[in-house]
Structure 1
Amino acid sequence: MTPDEFVALLRDHWPRTLAALDPAAREQLASALRKLADSTEPQAAQAAMRGLRRVLRDLPDEHPVTRALRDGVRFAGSVDAPLLDRQPLLALLGSLQGPPPLDPVRARLLAAPSLPAAGIGAAAGDPRLIRLRHPELGDRYPRFQFEEGTDRPLPVVGVINRLLMADRDPWGAADWWLGGNSWLGGVPADLLGSVPDEELALAARELVEGD
């Protein structure tokens, strides 16, 4: 893969990439892209690409950019040819101004009713609860995790969140709760209280053990 092809891939998955990076990593990404855009010598461009690799190495394993980095990015062609097309790079740099865009899945999950950390008292920080990071509002806890009208976590939610490893993958756990589930015939979060807790836990266990 050439640098131009890599930049095109990065552009195609830009919202998903930015959503996976914290503010410090986005600043480092902007610096690496700027150095790449300003490079006029192969050595400088290669150093900038190494900087990009360092910033993006913590992306999830299944991310298309991660797979491309594993395959390698190589410079090729005539020494008299331009190193790379700078216009796509400048467009990416321009989009880094302001809050990062959300990928559609995370946007959907953050749109569900939720509570701030200040609204759940001692439960804030409990690793058994799903905590989602909103780019503007900070930490949010999906509302379904608590007894109606209270800040008390539902015991079954803690049990299932442990099965789903919500402390390591809160977005995946939230997607299980807030997405359709063919095994249960509905959205798990909507079925709390109407479907036995044991059946909800069994559905989550089937997912985990099936993987």
Structure 2
Amino acid sequence: MNPQGPYDPYEVLAAAAAEWDAVEPLLSAQARQALAAALRRLRGTPAGREAAARDAARLLTDAMPDAEGGRLVATAPQAASSAGFRAEDLAALVLDRTRMVGPVLGPVRERLLSVPALSDDVVIRQGGDPYAAGLIRLTGEGGAVRLPRFQFSEDALPWLVLLEVNELLDAGEDPWGVADWWLSDNAWLAAPPASLLGTGRDHELVAVAHALTDGE
């Protein structure tokens, strides 16, 4: 489907991000691969950004049924601006496979990715195990894995209480939510939980985690 008339490709990509749950099932595996390639270029040098945005928008509309592709273009300005999504959110959805996008979750994702973190390689070089069960693993731009630094003691070994709490809070299913819990002020603890690691207050951390999950 080739949309007629001028349209802003960035708005089309933002609208697709806002409606990704409805858009994604309409794309074939081949279309998703081509879209991913265009979105990688979108993240590349500024000189190629405009062409990459046009290619990604065209790939999207061509891969969708005519009615759906036309609706996406027609509603893009209103849908994208009202929902507060950006073209970059579609890149995060497709390339990074994260749902932490949009006006609400996007800033949380950026804040969590800005905290000190270690890569798999660094943890291994320091004698730790970056794949230990219970560790929070966040996906950054381009799919790079980041392990928030607060999870480890000085010798790159994870705090045992952290692993216990992460299991209680199911960090494997919700690493972003659990990372946010560790790094946010906690009314019960009167401090961000991460700041209490190594201070002898392990029992309080476990008790608060139990309090959060006992009603589930």
Q: Which interval holds the TM-score relative to the shorter structure?
A: 0.5 to 0.7
Alpha-carbon distance in 1 for matches of 2:60, 2:143? 33
Q: Which residue of 2 aligns with 1:133?
A: 139
Q: Which residue of 1 aligns with 2:192?
A: 187
1:119 maps onto 2:106 in alignment: no
Closer, same or farther: CA 117–12 of 1 in aligned 2, 3 Å? same
SS at match of 2:191: coil
How big is each residue's C-alpha offset from its partner over 1:152-199, in whole Å with a ceiling of 9 and x where there is no partner? Answer: 111001000101111111101101101111111110001112252111
SS at match of 2:214: helix
Alpha-carbon distance in 1 for matches of 2:20, 2:165? 28
Alpha-carbon distance in 2 for matches of 1:28, 1:88? 24
Alpha-carbon distance in 1 for matches of 2:90, 2:16? 18
How big is each residue's C-alpha offset from its partner over 1:7-26, in whole Å with a ceiling of 9 and x where there is no partner? Answer: x9x948958969xx9x8596
Alpha-carbon distance in 2 for matches of 1:189, 1:16? 35
RMSD value, Cα: 4.4
Where is the helix percentage greater, Structure 1 or Structure 2?
Answer: 2
Q: Which residue of 2 aligns with 1:199?
A: 204
Equivalenced residues, count: 162
Alpha-carbon distance in 2 for matches of 1:25, 1:186? 46
> After the TM superposition, which segments of 4 or more aligned residues of structure 1 sit over 6 Å from their partners?
15-18, 28-32
Match of 1:104 among 84, 104, 107: 107
Aligned-residue offset at 1:85: 1.9
Closer, same or farther: CA 174–113 of 1 in aligned 2, 3 Å? same
Alpha-carbon distance in 1 for matches of 2:120, 2:18? 26
Q: Identity, % of aligned pairs?
A: 35
In the TM superposition, 1:137-176 aligns within 5 A as 138-147=144-153, 149-176=154-181
Amino acid across the alignment from 1:88: P
Where does the alignment leave 5 or more consecutive residues of structure 2 unmatched? 1-10, 25-31, 40-54, 94-100
1:45 maps onto 2:67 in alignment: yes
1:35/1:45 contact within 8 Å kept: no
1:128/1:162 contact within 8 Å kept: yes
TM-score by length of 2: 0.58
SS at match of 2:156: coil
2:34/2:59 contact within 8 Å kept: no
1:85 maps onto 2:95 in alignment: no
TM-score by length of 1: 0.59
Where does the alignment leave 5 or more consecutive residues of structure 1 unmatched? 1-7, 50-74, 76-82
2:14/2:76 contact within 8 Å kept: no
1:131/1:139 contact within 8 Å kept: yes
